[in-house]
Structure 1
Amino acid sequence: TLHAYGIVAHAGRWYVTGKDARIGEDRTFRLDRIAEARTRPGSFEAPVGPGPAQRVLSAFATAEYRYEVTLRIHGTVEQIRAHLPAGIATLEDHGPAAGQDRATERWLRVELRAERLDWLPRVLASLDRPFVIERPDELRDLVTALADRLASCARRA
């Protein structure tokens, strides 16, 4: 039983989000994967807090994947979100930033999960912002390899 409180379109697909009555936690399901639905008697209160769209994006960004990636990137929220949207990564201030404007450059902790890492070095390069890789070490190796390839190509006459 799902106490649905939102239907959200994202990346060409429709999702329903709500509270799973059996386990008491938020769940998100793709609508095209639901074979049957029926209404049940009763009512429930929609939760306070983020709206359905933010809940769906947060579920995507925190889903279980092979790699858990943690970075620190120096920039604005908008600079980072242009390359790592809310459906991919979560952002939080790293260090004291109380009351800072979203347009102010600062260090932000970026967390994301991925099944593969091969795409991430190109995204980090395209940010053109200072960054620190906290984990995993495999990402550091991939970024170094990309930097070496780029430097080698740039030296060619």
Structure 2
Amino acid sequence: MSRPTTRVLSLLEVLQDRGLVPADELARRLEVDTRAVRRYVTALRELGVPVESVRGRYGGYRLARGARLPPLMLADEEAVAVAAALAVAGEGAGAGEPSPADRALIKLNRVLPAALRQRVDTLAAATSVTGPAALTPDPELALTLATAVRARRTVRIEHSTGPREVDPFGLVVHARRWYLVGHDHLRDAVRVFRLDRVTGAAELPRPFSPPEDFDPVAHVLHALTFGGWAHRTEVWLDTDLDSARARLPATSGELRPCPDGGVLLVSGVEQLPGMARLLAGLPWRFTVLGPPALVDALDAHVASLTGALARSRGAGQGRPGDEDRSAGTFP
């Protein structure tokens, strides 16, 4: 580092990364003496960057909180990670006026090198978002997969269950998780892979043709609703489709309008008592069409509520459960 301006910017980068940093450590990092560090701090302050001095044995310099946001110093991979997160967050915000994420992405794109900006645009185009976005996974992994989606080339992924070769159809962000949807050559079927279980990916020189009108979001929702669950349930709801969609989360099941009125909720569940509690909390009439075990689970839940109601009505004489406690047991 030979230019004072470079050292001033490097000082700012260290303060952004570390918080409070002793003056002698800054001097070592910048390869100067402490007097030069003081000059660089003064230069930052003259530029409007709020740098605080902290005296004492554990003192040093730090950026002030609650003041004007200082310029950010980002490495290429950091800039790509931020831009990718902003791109996905903006897509999940819905239509209307540009969101804060949209506006921040526009500003960041102005200073990104053309090659990096193109990769970020590719990631945004290859990713579908169903709601509030999650934190972006490893930027290089997400960008590699997105590039393969756009180029329609097979990728080799390092998955927690072992290496796989996959024809990537799309990336989906749902319920704060990232998913890769594609044709798994090992299983010879379309599969959904969580990106937090993928540690690496490499594009292969092998083109593929995705199925026509394939919807990655619909496939992910269907897989999360029915894939590997212990029970398949069907319940008729006395409401309309819009009301059902507004009340029930997307992962609760598929909602289908019925010709004679109402909505059919088709779900995959692991525990029937949990489904019984969900149904009991709905504001509409409903009819369980199957399986019979769900009716039994609903009956047990109603019995539990009836018992709680009876105990509550009889609680006027003293605290609830006093008799049981005197016998050494609890209700």
In structure 2, C-alpha distance between the alignment counterparts of 1:52 and 1:73, rounded to whole Å: 27
Q: CA deviation at 1:108?
A: 2.1
Does the alignment pair 1:25 with 2:180? no
TM-score, length-scaled by structure 1 = 0.79
Does the alignment pair 1:85 with 2:249? yes
Quick one: which amino acid aligns to residue 242 of structure 2?
Answer: E
Unaligned runs of 5+ in 2: 1-164, 315-331
In structure 1, C-alpha distance between the alignment counterparts of 2:179 and 2:218, rounded to whole Å: 12
Does the alignment pair 1:126 with 2:290? no
- Of the three residues 49, 69, 86, the one matched with 2:213 is 49
User: Contact 1:79–1:127 at 8 Å: present in 2 too?
Assistant: no
Does the alignment pair 1:35 with 2:190? no
Query: Relative contact order, CA 8 A, sep 6+: which one is greater?
Result: 1
Larger strand fraction of residues: 1
The equivalent of 1:6 in structure 2 is 170
The equivalent of 2:265 in structure 1 is 110
Q: CA deviation at 1:73?
A: 1.4
Aligned residues: percent identity? 29
Q: CA deviation at 1:56?
A: 0.9
Q: Which whole-Å deviations, capped at 9, do the CAs of 1:16-48 have from their partners, x for residues lacking one?
A: 001224555321001121233211113233333
Quick one: which amino acid aligns to residue 183 of structure 2?
Answer: K
In structure 2, C-alpha distance between the alignment counterparts of 1:139 and 1:129, rounded to whole Å: 18
In structure 1, C-alpha distance between the alignment counterparts of 2:301 and 2:243, rounded to whole Å: 21
User: Contact 1:80–1:127 at 8 Å: present in 2 too?
Assistant: no
In structure 2, C-alpha distance between the alignment counterparts of 1:45 and 1:6, rounded to whole Å: 13
RMSD between aligned alpha carbons? 2.3
User: Contact 1:7–1:17 at 8 Å: present in 2 too?
Assistant: yes
Larger helix fraction of residues: 2
Max radius of gyration: which structure? 2
User: Contact 2:240–2:257 at 8 Å: present in 1 too?
Assistant: no
Does the alignment pair 1:63 with 2:208? no
Q: Which whole-Å deviations, capped at 9, do the CAs of 1:37-71 have from their partners, x for residues lacking one?
A: 21111323333335322221121112121111111
TM-score, length-scaled by structure 2 = 0.40
- Secondary structure of the 2:273 match is coil
In structure 2, C-alpha distance between the alignment counterparts of 1:92 and 1:82, rounded to whole Å: 14
User: Contact 1:91–1:111 at 8 Å: present in 2 too?
Assistant: yes
Q: Which whole-Å deviations, capped at 9, do the CAs of 1:67-86 have from their partners, x for residues lacking one?
A: 11111112122332344333
In structure 2, C-alpha distance between the alignment counterparts of 1:136 and 1:84, rounded to whole Å: 20
User: Contact 2:241–2:256 at 8 Å: present in 1 too?
Assistant: no
- Secondary structure of the 2:182 match is strand
